[in-house]
Amino acid sequence: MAFLELQGVEKHFGSLRAIKGVDLKIEKGEFIVFVGPSGCGKSTLLRMIAGLTEIDGGSLTLDGRDITKLASSKRDLAMVFQSYALYPHMSVFDNMSFALRLANVDKAVIQQKVQRAAEILNLVPYLQRTPKELSGGQRQRVAIGRAIVRAPKVFLFDEPLSNLDAALRGQTRVEIAKLHRDLGATTIYVTHDQVEAMTLADRVVVLRDGQIEQVGTPLALYDRPANQFVAQFIGTPQMNVLPAAKLPQLAEVGGMAVPAGGFVGLRPEDIRVQLAGQGQLQGTVELVEALGAETLIHVATSTGAIVISRQNSRTTLHAGNPVGLSIDATAAHLFDDQGRLARPASGGASQASA
Ligand SMILES: Nc1ncnc2c1ncn2[C@@H]1O[C@H](COP(=O)(O)OP(=O)(O)OP(=O)(O)O)[C@@H](O)[C@H]1O
Ligand SMILES: [Mg+2]
C-alpha cells in the first residue's frame, strides 16, 4: 500500500462538485507537485489531505491508517501557506516552537529541535526577533521551520513562495529542494510556477476542473503529455498547437498520419527559423523576444496561426521580416479532434539526449 493514498476523493460546495473522485498514490519520501489553472481544486485537495476541509466522499489513508475523518491535529501533517500565518507578537523562536510547547514537549528537546531547524534554514541570528522585523523570505522560512520542528509524516505547501520577489523565490526554491534532500520528508506542494514544478517535483499532478489529467515525472509530462491540455499547460512558452488541416505541408513529411480534425503540437524548440522560402511553412516575424540566453521568435504563418520558435542564439530578425520555418516531423505530437493524444512525438530538439 502506498504511504499516502487518495481513493475516489470528492468535495462538494453546494451544487459545485469541486473535486471529482480523485485517485492518487504517493510513496514515502516523494515530492509531489500539484499544478493546474486557477480554481481547478489544488488548494481544496491539499486542505482535504490536511484535514482543514471535510472529505465528502472516498477515502484517505496515511501510513496504513484511514484518516478520512480524523481531526487535522491528529493527522501528523504540517501545512505551510502562502500567507505565513505567523503570530506577530511572538519571537521567531516562540513561533517555531509553538506546536511543541502546546504538546508539552520537554524544554531541552524543543531547544534542540528549533536550533536544528534554524540552522537548516539560516535563521539562527533571528530567533529573538518578531516577524515584523524580518524580510518576506525570512518570514516564509520561519513558517517552514515551524513545520519542520514538528517532524510531520507529510509536509503540505500551498504556493509558499508566491509572495516573494523573483530572486528570493529562486533562492527559497533551492532551499526547499535541499531541505527535501536532507530530510527526505514526503511533500505535497501546490504552485503556479512552472520552474518550481519542474525542478522540485519527483512527480507532477496536473489537475483540471476537479480531476487529475495526468501524473508523471516533470520530463515525462513535457515529452509525453497525454492530451492537449497537459501539453499546453506544461512548458513556457506553451506548446504550439495548430489544426492539422492547416499543415498539409507537414503531413507530407515523414509520412505522419495527422488525424482528421486533429491537431499538431510542436514545442517552440522544435521549430527552426530559416531563410524565407525554406522549410515547410512560410510566415512573417511578428515579435522578437530577446531574453539573453534564448530568443523567442513569434511568426505569423501562412496558415493564419502564430507560432513561437525558441532558439539559443541571438537574431538580427525583427518584426516584418519574411521567414521560413522548418519542423522536424518526429517532434510533432498529434492530437485527435478531442485533444487526446493520437501519436506521441518520437524525436526533436526537446527530446534529444545530451
Ligand atoms: N469554501 C468554499 N466554498 C465554496 N466554494 C469553494 C470554497 N473553496 C473553494 N471553492 C471553489 O472550489 C473550486 C476550487 O477552488 P480551489 O481554491 O481549490 O482552487 P485552486 O486550484 O487552489 O485555485 P488557485 O490557483 O486560484 O489558488 C473553485 O471553483 C472555488 O471557487
Ligand atoms: Mg489555491
What sign does the dihedral 262-268-273-276 (CA atoms) show?
Answer: positive
**196 alpha carbon – ligand 1 mean position (Å):** 21
What sign does the dihedral 110-113-116-122 (CA atoms) show?
Answer: negative
Range with the poorest average pLDDT among 119-128, 295-304, 345-354 = 345-354
Burial class (CB in 10 A: 0-12, 13-18, 19+), 59: middle
Nearest atom (ligand 1) to Cα of 34: 21
Of all residues in the chain, what percent carry a pLDDT higher than 70?
Answer: 96
State yes or no: pLDDT of 251 exceeds 70. Answer: no
Digit-coded pLDDT (tens) for 173-217: 888 898 898 888 999 999 988 889 999 999 999 999 999 999 999
- 255 and 178 belong to one structural domain: no
- Ligand 1-lining residues (CB < 6 angstroms): 13, 16, 18, 36, 38-44
- 214 and 248 belong to one structural domain: no
Answer whether residue 156 is part of any domain: yes
Structural domain boundaries enclosing 263: 236-352
Residue nearest to atom 6 of ligand 1 (CA): 13
Answer whether residue 37 is part of any domain: yes
Give 54's contacts (C-beta < 8 A, 6+ positions apart): 48
Total domains, the chain: 2
Mean pLDDT value of segment 93-115: 94
Digit-coded pLDDT (tens) for 28-73: 999 999 999 999 999 999 999 999 999 999 999 999 999 999 999 8
Answer whether residue 319 is part of any domain: yes
Residue nearest to atom 26 of ligand 1 (CA): 38
- 187 and 259 belong to one structural domain: no
Q: Which of 187, 222, 257 is the last residue of a domain?
A: 222
CATH of residue 340's domain is: 2.40.50.140
CATH of residue 218's domain is: 3.40.50.300
Report the pLDDT value the prediction gives residue 37, as an integer from 0 to 100. Answer: 95
Best residue for ligand 1 mutational test, from 13, 52, 82, 205 (most atoms within 8 Å of Cβ): 13
Answer whether residue 228 is part of any domain: no
- 188 and 246 belong to one structural domain: no
In the sheet that 57-62 helps form, which strands lie side by side, from edge to edge? 16-26, 4-13, 57-62, 65-66
Digit-coded pLDDT (tens) for 124-165: 999 999 999 998 888 988 998 998 898 899 999 999 888 778
Report the pLDDT value the prediction gives residue 249, as an integer from 0 to 100. Answer: 62
Q: Which of 194, 222, 250 is the last residue of a domain?
A: 222
Residue nearest to atom 30 of ligand 1 (CA): 39
Q: How far apart are CA 210 and CA 20, in angstroms?
A: 5
**109 alpha carbon – ligand 2 mean position (Å):** 35
Q: Which of 222, 255, 285 is the last residue of a domain?
A: 222
**259 alpha carbon – ligand 2 mean position (Å):** 37
pTM for the complete prediction?
Answer: 0.91
Answer whether residue 231 is part of any domain: no
Best residue for ligand 1 mutational test, from 12, 15, 17, 40 (most atoms within 8 Å of Cβ): 40
Report the pLDDT value the prediction gives residue 354, as an integer from 0 to 100. Answer: 56
Report the pLDDT value the prediction gives residue 253, as an integer from 0 to 100. Answer: 46
Nearest atom (ligand 1) to Cα of 210: 14
In this structure, what C-alpha cell is assigned to residue 352?
Answer: 534529444
Q: Which of 142, 156, 184 lies closest to 46 in space, CA to CA?
A: 156
Report the pLDDT value the prediction gives residue 280, as an integer from 0 to 100. Answer: 86
**13 alpha carbon – ligand 1 mean position (Å):** 9
Ligand nearest to the CA of 11: 1
Digit-coded pLDDT (tens) for 6-33: 999 999 999 999 999 999 999 999 999 9
Report the pLDDT value the prediction gives residue 348, as an integer from 0 to 100. Answer: 74
- 208 and 299 belong to one structural domain: no
Residue nearest to atom 14 of ligand 1 (CA): 41
Give 182's contacts (C-beta < 8 A, 6+ positions apart): 120
**43 alpha carbon – ligand 1 mean position (Å):** 7
Digit-coded pLDDT (tens) for 288-343: 999 999 999 999 998 889 999 999 999 999 999 999 999 888 888 989 999 998 88
